[in-house]
Structure 1
Amino acid sequence: MPLDPRSVDQSFHFDSRQTALLRRQWGALMDTLVWGDVRSSRLGALPRLRKRFLELGENLRSVLNDRGWIPQPRERVKGAMGACLNLRDALNQVERGASTLNAGEDFPAFEQELLAFRHQLLLFLEHHESLWGDLLESQYDESSEDEEED
């Protein structure tokens, strides 16, 4: 049975306050990475972290992209779930890179802000992954019920 298009549309309604908070937090962290006083004792670690953090922002944007142009609801959901996986991977890369930071005047605040951002991002991801996972799972539940009736 196909997915209900209205349920799919509703699953893509992102809380504007939450997305604005994530954008603000990401922007502040990126600003600190570029202009702030954070340092690593490992050569080249900070430029790599900046690159990874930019990729994290791009992956967040990908999750938030409008997928209304995709005609099949199931494909919209699968695309969003794939974008979530990429975002989680980018977050892991950032966390690995951030673990090399160990000095600088802005380091303690950066560390706390990164933890707060991570928490908000995971809340956002878990909520939408759950909605999308339930939508996809509902197809299999209905398929197995149809097979049992035969």
Structure 2
Amino acid sequence: MDPRIVEASFEFDPATVKHLRAQWLALMETSLWGDLKTSKIGTLPRLRKRWLELGEHLASLTRDRRWIPQPRERVKGAMAASLNLRDTLLHVERSLQVLGGGEDFAAFEKDILQFRHELLQFMEHHEKAWCDLLESQYDPPDN
């Protein structure tokens, strides 16, 4: 793997990361302090737990991995972090399906969908670069 291409694949736009972090934090605050209603007992605590996990996985995805000496292992670790983030996002979405009331619900739902859209765009950009790097190892060498 070309070290320059590996490094470039980990260049997370600081403004985008800051924006995603701020969105996550605002949604976490609403999930804790907002007026959200559900008919199933335990849904809101599970949602908060999953939302916290989502933030942890987002932080993990964007952490500096230069301490990992092997580029392939660095890329594989990032892909694993991305998969964990996707999995947690799916769990959050399942929790949201049983929410349906409260004064803050409509805005919360809209903001979650916006966050989800921006998060997936961010992830897909980097996942594509990492997949390309991993697949390049199996390309025949140029003659």
Q: Could you state the TM-score of these two structures normalised by the residue count of structure 2?
A: 0.97
Offset at residue 100 of structure 1 (A): 1.1
Please report the RMSD computed on the Cα atoms of aligned residues, expressed in angstroms: 1.1
2:135 to 134, 137, 144: 137
Identity of aligned residues (%): 62
Alignment of 1:7-26 (within 5 A): 7-26=5-24
> Secondary structure in 2 aligned to 1:102?
strand
Structure 1 stretches lacking a partner, 5+ long: none
Structure 1 segment 1-150 matched on structure 2, within 5 A = 3-142=1-140, 145=141
Map Cα deviations across residues 90-134 of structure 1 (whole Å, 9 max, x no partner).
000000001111110000000000000000000011000000000
SS in 2 for 1:66: coil
CA distance in 2, matches of 1:90, 1:61: 13
Alignment gaps of 5+ in structure 2: none
Separation (CA, whole Å) in 1 of partners of 2:128 and 2:55:
22
Q: How many residues align?
A: 143
Q: Which amino acid aligns with 1:59?
A: H
Structure 1 residue ranges, 4+ long, deviating more than 2 angstroms after superposition? none
For the residues of structure 2 that align with 1:139 and 1:71, how far apart are their CA atoms?
17
